[in-house]
Structure 1
Amino acid sequence: MDERALAVKRCVSDIEVADFVALDLEFSGLFLDAAKSGKVLSYEDYFAKCAESVPKFLALQLGICCAQQRKENNGGETDRSGWDLRTHQLDLWPSEHRVFSVDLQSLRFLRSHGFDFNAFLEKAHPYQRLQKSATSATPKPLGAGQVMAALRTAQVPLVVHNGLLDLLHLYDKFLGDLPEDFEDFGKAWLEHFPLTFDTRFVAQEGRLQVFKHPGGLSLQTLFTHLRASSSLQLRSPEPTSQGASHSAGYDAYVTAAVFLMEMDAWLRFDRKKSEAPAEAPAEAAAEAPAEAPSQATTLETETVEMAVQPTPGEEDEGWQPARKRARKARAPALSDPSLLENHKICRRFHNKIALVNTSPGFFVMGPPKG
């Protein structure tokens, strides 16, 4: 079995046992009309701009991070505080003839972050659009198409960060022509993948009250902030194998880590509200607006060491403790993967995708799963 086939096989195997999968893509460009990219657009105009641009550019690289909760017996009790994160990275090459656009600024950005264009040209994984439904007579998908087919079969939650363009590219490259508007795209996406989360939207909703984070909402910024107070144990067999920030594999890994820490924090926040003393005024236990700091409810801060991937530029290699504290460890609020589908807090974020420089600032693809 050649190297590319083996990489696909390993990725598919991890998808089949994952509790959720985080995704990230790198593109040959973002928008055809870059001059308008900073303007605030209406909901409809923004989707039209995206739908016009996406088919013209290539998806160069796909990052996949498969997350599975560890269930270890620790002194007679099951320890559910840990998660295994297995990351895969595939360069992508369309199997059919394509004439595509390139934004030189995007290529320079990728090259400055270590993208290997020679390896892309020589070893990229071929792909083509999947059949609408798989039968015994359906030909086996090519290369990276097997990964998307496995995701469609697994029906596990998918996680992205500020991921509308990622979803549009995945649909355009692997599933079919893009629908004409937001509503039709949402319905079409959910036919294949019924549950999607966006870590930026989760952060937008709890920026100050839940996460105590007045800073930016970029992926790396959120990762740095959240890992300082999280007790989740994140383990990856090869934490530095997928390159640096802005490679698709690394960003998929960070997206998975951020998502776990976000949801654990949100569940703790909800638990603390529900445990508020009965005699406390009702307004003290009620949830304040997303951007207003609350004096009544604070995020717990007792943590243990958390194994995290080092950020680029750190001197030490391998896994490092984010911080050591003398406080006792606490059980995770995200105690079971089923909470992602069933808990009222998690359902709040089902199928809602963050939008930047638009009004409104998010897109609802469809109702919560089930």
Structure 2
Amino acid sequence: MEIIKDNFEASLPMLKKAIEECDFVAMDTEMTGLALPINVPKNTDSLSTRYQKVSTSAGSFLVIQLGICTFTWRDEIGGYEARPFNFPCFPSSADEAKAGERFFKCQSTSLEFLIKNGFDFNKWILHGIPYLTRPEEEAYIIRKTEKEANNASASVNNIAIDDRNKTFVTMTIERIQEWLQNSTEETLVLQANNSFFRRLVYQVIRTDFNDALHAVADTRARTMTVQRMTDEIRLQKEQAKIPKPPMLNLRRVLDMTIEAKKPLIGHNCFLDLMQITQQFLWDVPRELEDWKRSLNLEWNTIIDTKHLAGHPMIKEHLESTGLEIVSECVQKEPFSTVGPKIVMAEGFDRYLADASLKPAETNETDDKTQKDDTKYHEAGYDAYITGQAFLRFAGFILKEHERAAANQEAHTRKKRRVETEGEEGVESSETPECTSETGESLTATKGEQGQEEPKKGQEKEEDEEEDGELSETELEKEMLMERSKRVIIGNPTKSILETEELQNYYNFLHMMRSDIPVMNLTGPDQEPAERPWNLLLKNIPAGSTTSTLFYLFGPYNPFRFTWVDDRSAWIQLSRFPPGTNGPPANGEPAVPYEPKSLPIGLLGEDYVKPFCVGTEEEAMKGREVGVVFEAAQIEVVSWKTWYDQKEAEDALKRQMRQDPVSSAPYQKRPLPGSRAEGQRSLEPVLPEQNDAVPASLPVAVAGAADPAEALPGSETSAISAGSKRKLEDE
């Protein structure tokens, strides 16, 4: 269901009821851009650095569409009822909400992406719902209070009647008297070309007609409409004097979700949450930990389905964790058969409940079912499929746990029965065997006693008994069937929220392109994993080339060099044997290989000398590629040392922001290894070595300062996918 400015206020009761009664709320946003070129995320960003980058983007770009979808359990259908809402949102410049006026940036690729996916920019501007943050709403109330005070003051100080306005005042009084005495019309329209004349009309009504009339100005038409005062109008005027927040504010929907204390579901939603807090709630704080605490005060439980998609039980069934791929996967086995049933509520027919049902697969022929209802990248639809994916994932995990528990219980029960049967067999085996006088056994076989040979099925049962695999009794089968029905039909909301296996994935946000894969919203974040095969080379001699470095560090089997500047570069040692460029093809087993560790510190003369004055062949090759004695001063810095120095830099910057006076003396003391002014960033390149690279061609990216630049075919200017969905699939 799409809600626009014209029907927003009328839809509020329905929205409030849907949110208060639901079990979960899913959300999504569409924006005018994702990241500024200077704030492109890098793998090596600390979470604080990533937060600073995303917060800058959140303040630069605009949310242009908000999607909310509620999921409510209904016993009568044995499933969840979905109510997706799509809200185009545009900051109004109307007088009532001028505090919400925005100045924002656009990213051309994002706008192009939106228009290709059917976004209507005319509808966005003409019918988008305005919104105010909480500080803006407070400013609006203050401004309105001051305006009322000014109006009250103006009503006391009347305009003096003189030759400049006497004619206008006289004509206005005569027209009003004529209308009151002789006209049956309910209203009278007076000409008032500017604010001065409008103020005179109000003054005439107040002084000459004792406030028995009510006038409304139309500034565009330069007129004022006068009507007789009624008790209803008088009450409305009195209430209007009380400063109140504007009714037309999209933030009211978010406030409803916060007040209802419902779990909030998103997909790869770090940027969405940053945008929502910045655009609708409050200005994001400077520090990440402050943002986390503020966010936890709004929503107790936040669930990122992209993080949940990494669950061991889930990821093996997914080709990718992009939202479109996830949506297609959860509508197929095994998720579609074990997840809870989801249907669209009555009146919510903008999208199909199951996007895998194409029009050709339905038996209906009306226009409504013949349209394609997969509206990817419309915020309301993306919110719906996000919630759908979460419920299918959760249902699958719960069902797998139930199956494992049932199998364990059945195994224990069968084992106990086998032990009982074994004890009875031992007792029967102690019966003495009868023999004849000749010593022959008198115990007859079944065949000799005239009994029929066991059938095939009976033999199988006996074999199972011998192996300890006894079949269940009819009563046990009925009990298992009833338990299975309860899992499928009963309301799973409590289990979804309270099962520890799922709780371990709540309040964590997925971090794209990051050495730290998740952000913990309720506790300390994990440290990035060590990168022993990625090292920083400093003090590289001027004139050195990539070929120089490949020859100089050849004994350590380098895979890639990435230049930071003319004197620094990152080296990545190969994790595969020399002469290979990746894992074996055609499923062949990998050859065990342990990379040779590159010593930390200066290379030293002993290491460089053989490349310069060694054998004639070595010396000639060294001169060809540019190896010089100054290479002995190249310093090898471990990734961990570089990361610690970078964290110290970030901590110092944060301290300077919080207390610039006390931190000022330290501004001219760069940390050891910190980058000097004018140098490019010393961000390492940490790609996966899965790209096939010809062995004869050394891999290097000159001038690359971040992982994205070092990857072949990557985009470097900005996140130009137009949508975060595209990045998820990489």
Bin for the TM-score computed over the shorter chain: 0.7 to 0.9
User: 1:106: which partner in 2?
Assistant: 110
1:226 to 302, 305, 330: 330
Partner Cα separation in structure 1 for residue 488 and residue 44 of structure 2: 39
Higher mean C-alpha displacement, 89-98 vs 191-200: 89-98
Partner Cα separation in structure 1 for residue 329 and residue 38 of structure 2: 31
Higher mean C-alpha displacement, 333-342 vs 86-95: 333-342
Higher helix content, 1 or 2: 2
Cα pair 2:9 2:247 within 8 Å, conserved: no
> What's the secondary structure of 1:94's corresponding residue?
coil
Cα pair 2:42 2:514 within 8 Å, conserved: no
1:175 to 270, 274, 281: 281
User: 1:272: which partner in 2?
Assistant: 403
Q: Deviations over 1:161-182 (max 9, x none)?
A: 0000110111111221112233
Aligned-residue offset at 1:270: 2.4
User: 2:8: which partner in 1?
Assistant: 4
Partner Cα separation in structure 2 for residue 200 and residue 25 of structure 1: 15
Higher strand content, 1 or 2: 1
User: 1:335: which partner in 2?
Assistant: 491
Partner Cα separation in structure 1 for residue 305 and residue 292 of structure 2: 18
Q: Structure 1 pair 261/90, CA: closer, same or farther in 2 (3 Å)?
A: same
> What's the secondary structure of 1:272's corresponding residue?
helix
Partner Cα separation in structure 2 for residue 332 and residue 221 of structure 1: 25
Partner Cα separation in structure 2 for residue 15 and residue 171 of structure 1: 19
Partner Cα separation in structure 2 for residue 108 and residue 365 of structure 1: 33
Amino acid at match of 1:203: A
Residue 121, structure 1, aligned to residue 225, structure 2: no
Residue 94, structure 1, aligned to residue 91, structure 2: yes
Amino acid at match of 1:359: D
Q: Structure 1 pair 262/243, CA: closer, same or farther in 2 (3 Å)?
A: closer
Residue 345, structure 1, aligned to residue 451, structure 2: no
1:240 to 341, 350, 360: 350
Amino acid at match of 2:341: Q
Identity %: 25
In structure 1, list runs of 5 or more residues that go unmatched.
73-78, 281-327
Cα pair 2:39 2:54 within 8 Å, conserved: no
Q: Structure 1 pair 139/233, CA: closer, same or farther in 2 (3 Å)?
A: same
2:261 to 142, 155, 177: 155
Cα pair 1:68 1:84 within 8 Å, conserved: yes
Q: Structure 1 pair 330/225, CA: closer, same or farther in 2 (3 Å)?
A: farther
Larger radius of gyration: 2
Residue 193, structure 1, aligned to residue 268, structure 2: no
Q: Structure 1 pair 364/70, CA: closer, same or farther in 2 (3 Å)?
A: same
Cα pair 1:351 1:366 within 8 Å, conserved: yes
> What's the secondary structure of 2:512's corresponding residue?
coil
In structure 2, list runs of 5 or more residues that go unmatched.
93-99, 139-241, 352-372, 412-483, 524-730
Superposed, 1:305-320 pairs within 5 Å as none
User: 1:261: which partner in 2?
Assistant: 392
Superposed, 1:22-41 pairs within 5 Å as 22-33=26-37, 36-37=40-41, 39-41=43-45
Aligned-residue offset at 1:67: 0.4
> What's the secondary structure of 2:65's corresponding residue?
strand
Q: Structure 1 pair 41/138, CA: closer, same or farther in 2 (3 Å)?
A: same
> What's the secondary structure of 1:126's corresponding residue?
coil
> What's the secondary structure of 1:120's corresponding residue?
helix
Higher mean C-alpha displacement, 216-225 vs 155-164: 216-225
Partner Cα separation in structure 1 for residue 489 and residue 397 of structure 2: 9
Cα pair 2:30 2:64 within 8 Å, conserved: yes
Superposed, 1:285-304 pairs within 5 Å as none
Cα pair 2:39 2:53 within 8 Å, conserved: no
Partner Cα separation in structure 2 for residue 133 and residue 47 of structure 1: 26
Cα pair 1:152 1:193 within 8 Å, conserved: yes
Aligned-residue offset at 1:133: 12
User: 1:309: which partner in 2?
Assistant: none
1:84 to 78, 81, 98: 81
Q: Structure 1 pair 333/351, CA: closer, same or farther in 2 (3 Å)?
A: farther
